[in-house]
A and B are shown apart, each in its own frame.
Chain A
Amino acid sequence: MRKRWPGFLLILVLLVLWEFASANKMIDPITFPRVSVIFASWMKAVTGTGELTRQLLPSMGRIFTGFGLAVIVAVPLGLLMGTIPMVYRLLEPITEFIRPIPSSAYIPVAILFLGIGNEMKVFVIFLACLFPILLNTYGGVRGVDSVLIDTGRTFGLSRVKALWQIILPASLPSILTGMRISLGIALIVAVVAEMITGNSGIGYFILDMQRIFRVPEMFAGIFTLGLLGFLINFIFLRVEGHFLRWRGTSVET
């Protein structure tokens, strides 16, 4: 953390510049309100009225439900694809075909089947999270060194035990990378889905504030997203560092 102060200093300088430019009407103070004004409305929306906090919870609920479901489905599926060639040959083409489609493109389809409620949003987040985890899982499994697998064999490990005791831990770094990518995507997709339909969530809040021209609150929402993304990544890196402490390379947070 100590070596990162120049980066944080730059953020501070930029915010001060923004404050100064807006106060002196060098940029339009209506579309770019002063940072101090944004901060004041952020404080109010978080601690005072609580309208921002109220919107944060449904968003996070969706993100973690969708992400969690994706982990539950993608990790076992990826392990199967990585270990059983038949399963790989069966599922690899369809995976490669669906993967490049931006997950936001599913939203209209999801609305048709699931409506505009919470289920639709969770489903779209789930789908968006699925592929990075799946790809990284089976990629990791296929990358496990044959010596490691033969070591299990010479000790008489059954295939199921080898999956659990050798293949899973050996591909864990790759699986965790997939999960981290997915978490980032989950945040994006959640906001997009909330902006398109619905009446709750941080995405909805940002769009709603823009529509009723409460620009400081709109920015407060955007900054909250930045903070949320940063926090999620920070916590995840800590978790990753704990599970991969055997690699010896400290994960930078």
Chain B
Amino acid sequence: MTTTFDAQARATAQPRSAPPIIEVRNAAKRFAVNGQSLTVFDGISCAIPQGAFLSIVGPSGCGKSTLLKLISGLEAPSGGEILFNGARVTGPAEGMIYVFQQYTKSIFPWRTVIQNIEFGLKSHKTLGKRERDELCRHYVKLVGLEGYEHYFPYQLSGGMQQRVVIARALICEPSVLLMDEPFSAVDALTRAILQELILKIWQTIPVTILFVTHDVEEAVFLSSRIISLTKSPAKIHEDVAIDLPYPRDQITTRADEKFHGLRQQLFASIFLQEKGGAPSAPRS
């Protein structure tokens, strides 16, 4: 493919000193539960370089999704700050799109496939009708939904609905895509196909992806870097660069010994925490 630039260089050779596209500084999140304050995390800091495919993994309930919500601006931190392109995030920022875990609830059921995708273009008023149609068709093709343009969501499978949601996010050309366990609700085979699709997209389009998942194997397969969190109140437990070569595919990458080593290492650390053996604070 001629359009594919060197994702390998972008992912692994990226110097850590390059200006980060996202910076989390001392972020804290507390919720009031039954009159008591529950700390999800306090004092998380990390910098995400432009072009990264970064996954956040950790035991269930550790606050992975909450961290992603804070970065997106959909929720405000209780302390600390988030910087996006150097500017403080105070609300949903232009250039960042959040892809929800519950795609069935995020898709617009009253819009057809093409209308759902076109929704992502709404703010681009300068485009003419013809340009809009062309762009929509391009993204329909990118996620492999040709022939289904005029279907309503209820007529699609879960995997196809997730493709619509991804195309809708991509069409507004975000510099950051925030994905919250996007493939957790589809069957294993569909998931494998969608994983390859998102990798292909990441290698074709200059987009930074933050990917939350509880599936370590998925994280290793996709990411250029993985951050693992401890149990709540969460801290960054590990920050691992995944130096598996891109382009990756389900067959050869998963057969790689290095893949297994990384998977095993991360899985062990998370599993032991979930069991309660590793450093963690008691949950109230």
Q: Which residues of A contact B (CB under 8 A)?
A: 145, 147-148, 150-151, 153-157, 161, 165-166, 169-170, 172, 245-248
Q: Are B152 and A154 interface neighbours, CB within 8 A?
A: no
Identify which of B8-16, B49-57, B100-108, B132-140 touches chain A: B100-108
Other CB < 8 Å A-B pairs besides A153-B91, A153-B92, A155-B122, 16 of them? A147-B106, A148-B106, A148-B108, A150-B74, A153-B74, A154-B72, A154-B74, A154-B92, A155-B119, A156-B94, A156-B123, A157-B122, A169-B108, A170-B110, A246-B110, A248-B154
Chain A, residue nearest B105 (CB): A147
Known interface pairs A150-B74, A154-B72, A166-B108; A247-B102 also in contact (CB < 8 Å): no
Given contacts A147-B102, A166-B108, contact A155 B97 (CB under 8 A): yes
Closest approach, in angstroms, between the C-beta of A15 and any C-beta of chain B?
A: 42
Question: In the complex, A161→B123 CA distance in Å?
Answer: 11
Q: Residues of B contacting A166 with CB < 8 Å?
A: 108
Count how many pairs of residues, one from A and one from B, have CB atoms less than 8 Å apart in the complex: 55
Closest approach, in angstroms, between the C-beta of B145 and any C-beta of chain A?
17
Q: List 20 A-B pairs, Cβ < 8 Å.
A: A147-B105, A148-B106, A148-B108, A151-B100, A151-B106, A151-B108, A154-B72, A154-B97, A155-B97, A155-B120, A155-B122, A155-B123, A156-B123, A165-B122, A169-B110, A172-B110, A246-B111, A246-B152, A246-B154, A248-B155
Question: In the complex, which residue of chain A has the Cβ closest to the Cβ of B101?
Answer: A147
Q: Closest A residue to B178 by CB, please name it.
A: A154
Q: Does B172 contact A (CB under 8 A)?
A: yes
B126 to chain A, nearest CB (A): 15
Q: B residues touching A (Cβ–Cβ < 8 Å)?
A: 72, 74, 91-92, 94, 96-98, 100, 102, 105-106, 108-111, 119-120, 122-123, 152-155, 172
CB-CB under 8 A from B172, the residues of chain A are 155
Most chain B CB inside 10 Å of its own CB: which residue of A145, A150, A151, A247: A151
If A155-B122, A155-B172, A246-B152 touch, does A150 touch B110 (CB 8 Å cutoff)? Answer: no
User: Interface majority SS on B: helix, strand, loop or mixed?
Assistant: loop
Among B91, B96, B120, B154, the one with the most A-chain Cβ atoms within 10 Å of its Cβ is B154
A154 & B98 in contact (Cβ 8 Å cutoff): yes
- Given A156-B94, A172-B110, A150 contacting B122 (CB threshold 8 A): no
A-B pairs with lowest CB-CB distance, top 9: A248-B154, A147-B105, A154-B98, A246-B110, A246-B152, A169-B110, A153-B92, A151-B106, A145-B105
CA distance A211 to B155 in the complex (A): 58
Using A147-B100, A150-B100, A169-B110 as known contacts, say yes or no to A156 and B105 having CB atoms under 8 A apart: no
**Chain A proximity of B91: nearest CB distance (Å):** 8
B120 cross-chain contacts in A, Cβ below 8 A: 155
Q: Which residues of B contact A154 (CB under 8 A)?
A: 72, 74, 92, 96-98
> B152's closest neighbor in chain A, by CB?
A246
The docked-state distance in angstroms from the alpha carbon of A39 to that of B91 is 69
Q: How far is the CA of A145 from the CA of B94 in the complex (A)?
A: 23
What is the minimal beta-carbon distance from A173 to any residue of chain B, in angstroms? 10
State the CA gap A154–B172 with chains docked (Å). 11
Indicate if the CB atoms of B109 and A247 lie closer than 8 Å: yes
